[in-house]
Amino acid sequence: MPKNSKLKIGVLTGGGDAPGLNAVIRAVVKCALNRGWEVMGIKDGFEGLLDPSSIKQITPGDVSGILNMGGTILGTTNRGNPFQHKAGSDKKESAKDLSDLVVENFKKLGLDALVAIGGDGSLTIAKKLYDKGIPIIGVPKTIDNDLKETVITFGFDTAVSTATDAIDKLHSTAQSHKRVMVVEVMGRYCGWIALNSGIAGGADIILIPEIPFDWDKVCQKVEKRYKSGKNFCIVVAAEGAKPASGERLVKEHKTATHVEVLGGIGEFVAAEIQKRTGREARAMVLGHLQRGGNPTTFDRLTSTRFGAAAVRLIAEKKFGQMVSLSPPNVVSVPLEKAVAGLKTVPPDSDSILSARELGISFGD
Ligand code: F6P
């Protein structure tokens, strides 16, 4: 391994947490230390770069035993955008652009490069900081799997496993009570978690944002299922799913500094099915369980490969890039391309086609 000049690099985790964050941090630290470099841990995403006193060196002991741990030892926030910074919770205070301070602090700390582990929000910030001169590498994280230019983001596989496990468990209670059970899963504006867990968990109906549904079609499928002698029905609804005749349900609206929070579709679908079919229906919101727990083997492996690849890119001085899974390899792509829009589920994809052939309804 080339031991190029001793570098000092920073690492941070931004946005909603996802299983595998610690595995990436560990890989970055181990690979960098093996090259003779120094790694600084930046707390709470980009927020940490506004407070240099909070930035500490990461030692081998700090990353020992964290490979299979959920969460992030560095902390994170999905409200830490230095380009639109708002201190505290005072609603009246207007957002300030503190990105120059971030650049100044980065230089003061003597950092040579920054590894930013995050989803579309954090990587968009990373791209803007790269444009302002910070040598940055992005690592694609999100349970939503909605980042472009990578086949998969780490965290997604664990979230799908958790959701599938929940759907498996709902089968017996649905059957015992002859109920329609509606499971609301995360995913924001994309249906990847709903689609994959729905197929793996044997759902009868899957509702995703990419295919707006028709209430009549949903209810016809419920009735068909009961008439076929199966006295229960499992529906998986992505939080961003919406009826063709309506809007997606928003719990908290987007502001200059806060992202939109979705939710409520599960209850809505259960209530509507019960009203229209007379079948008893219940809803369950899986929520943040999908972000918790130990990463699966796949996520640990992907996270570790991503972390190692990020350090390799720094050694090669290939900045402004995001590591990306392009099986069988981990490659790199420009951050600019990775954050240009979301990776939605193609309605004509093989998974959708296979699900339809299995008799799963998308309510269309
Ligand atoms: O992006 C990850 C995610 O878990 C989404 O699936 C979900 O919509 C959102 O974050 C929830 O965010 P918060 O933790 O702010 O409630």
Domain count within the chain: 2
- DSSP SS3 for 121: helix
pLDDT confidence bin for 78, thresholds 50/70/90: confident
Please compute the mean of the pLDDT values over residues 17-38 and round it to a whole number. 98
Are 135 and 261 members of one domain? no
Q: Which of 144, 146, 204, 299 is catalytic?
A: 144
Model confidence at 2: pLDDT above 60: no
Are 122 and 165 members of one domain? no
The CA–CA distances, whole Å, from 341 to 120, 171, 315, 335 equal 9, 36, 29, 12
Q: Looking at the domain assignment, is residue 237 inside a domain?
A: yes
Q: Looking at the domain assignment, is residue 73 inside a domain?
A: yes
Q: Which one-letter DSSP state was computed for residue 192?
A: H
pLDDT at site 10: 98
Are 55 and 104 members of one domain? yes
Please compute the mean of the pLDDT values over residues 139-146 and round it to a whole number. 98
144 catalytically annotated:
yes
Q: Looking at the domain assignment, is residue 247 inside a domain?
A: yes
Chain centre distance of CA 152: 10
Q: Looking at the domain assignment, is residue 337 inside a domain?
A: no
Backbone angles phi, psi at 330, to 5 degrees: -100, 125
Report CA(18)–ligand 1 centroid distance (Å).
10
pLDDT confidence bin for 206, thresholds 50/70/90: very high
pLDDT confidence bin for 149, thresholds 50/70/90: very high
Q: Looking at the domain assignment, is residue 363 inside a domain?
A: no
- DSSP SS3 for 48: helix
- Average the pLDDT over each of 99-113, 155-169, 203-217, 250-264 and give the range with the smallest value: 250-264
Are 104 and 147 members of one domain? yes
> Which residue's CA is the nearest one to ligand 1's atom 10?
16
- Lay out the sheet containing 205-207: strands in order across: 205-207, 233-238, 180-185, 281-285
* CA dist., res. 131 & res. 342, Å (int): 21
- DSSP SS3 for 35: coil
Who lines ligand 1 at CB under 6 A?
Answer: 16, 78, 119, 142-144, 186-188, 239, 261-262, 291
* CA dist., res. 288 & res. 28, Å (int): 26
Q: Token pair 């086949």 is at which residue?
A: 151
Please compute the mean of the pLDDT values over residues 275-297 and round it to a whole number. 98
pLDDT at site 259: 83
The answer to whether the beta carbons of residues 16 and 50 sit under 8 Å apart is no
Are 299 and 288 members of one domain? no
> Range of 286's domain?
158-292+346-357
- DSSP SS3 for 275: helix
The enclosing domain of 144 has a CATH number of 3.40.50.450
Model confidence at 267: pLDDT above 90: yes
Are 351 and 207 members of one domain? yes
pLDDT at site 94: 79
Model confidence at 192: pLDDT above 70: yes
Average pLDDT value for the chain: 96
Count CB atoms within 10 A of the CB of residue 235: 29
Q: Looking at the domain assignment, is residue 70 inside a domain?
A: yes
pLDDT at site 79: 81
Q: Looking at the domain assignment, is residue 285 inside a domain?
A: yes
Model confidence at 222: pLDDT above 70: yes
pLDDT confidence bin for 307, thresholds 50/70/90: very high
Are 230 and 175 members of one domain? yes
Report CA(16)–ligand 1 centroid distance (Å).
6
The pair of three-digit structure tokens given for residue 123, joined into one six-digit string: 């990587």
Model confidence at 3: pLDDT above 60: no
Report CA(211)–ligand 1 centroid distance (Å).
21
pLDDT at site 255: 76
Are 43 and 180 members of one domain? no
The CA–CA distances, whole Å, from 33 to 9, 217, 269, 306, 351 equal 10, 57, 52, 16, 42
The pair of three-digit structure tokens given for residue 21, joined into one six-digit string: 């964050």
Are 238 and 351 members of one domain? yes
Mutate to test the pocket of ligand 1, among 76, 291, 343 (most ligand atoms within 8 A of CB): 291
Report CA(249)–ligand 1 centroid distance (Å).
14
Are 265 and 163 members of one domain? yes
> What percent of the chain has pLDDT above 90?
93
The CA–CA distances, whole Å, from 43 to 16, 33, 72, 104, 228 equal 14, 20, 10, 17, 55
Q: Looking at the domain assignment, is residue 1 inside a domain?
A: no
pLDDT digits (tens, 9 = 90+) for 43-76: 999 999 999 999 999 999 999 999 999 999 999 9
Residues 6+ apart with CB under 8 A from 4: 35, 315
Residues 6+ apart with CB under 8 A from 349: none
pLDDT confidence bin for 361, thresholds 50/70/90: very high
Are 210 and 282 members of one domain? yes
Are 36 and 69 members of one domain? yes
* CA dist., res. 90 & res. 103, Å (int): 26
Atom of ligand 1 nearest to the CA of 193: 6
Please compute the mean of the pLDDT values over residues 78-94 and round it to a whole number. 78
The answer to whether the beta carbons of residues 273 and 237 sit under 8 Å apart is no
The enclosing domain of 279 has a CATH number of 3.40.50.460
Backbone angles phi, psi at 185, to 5 degrees: -115, 165
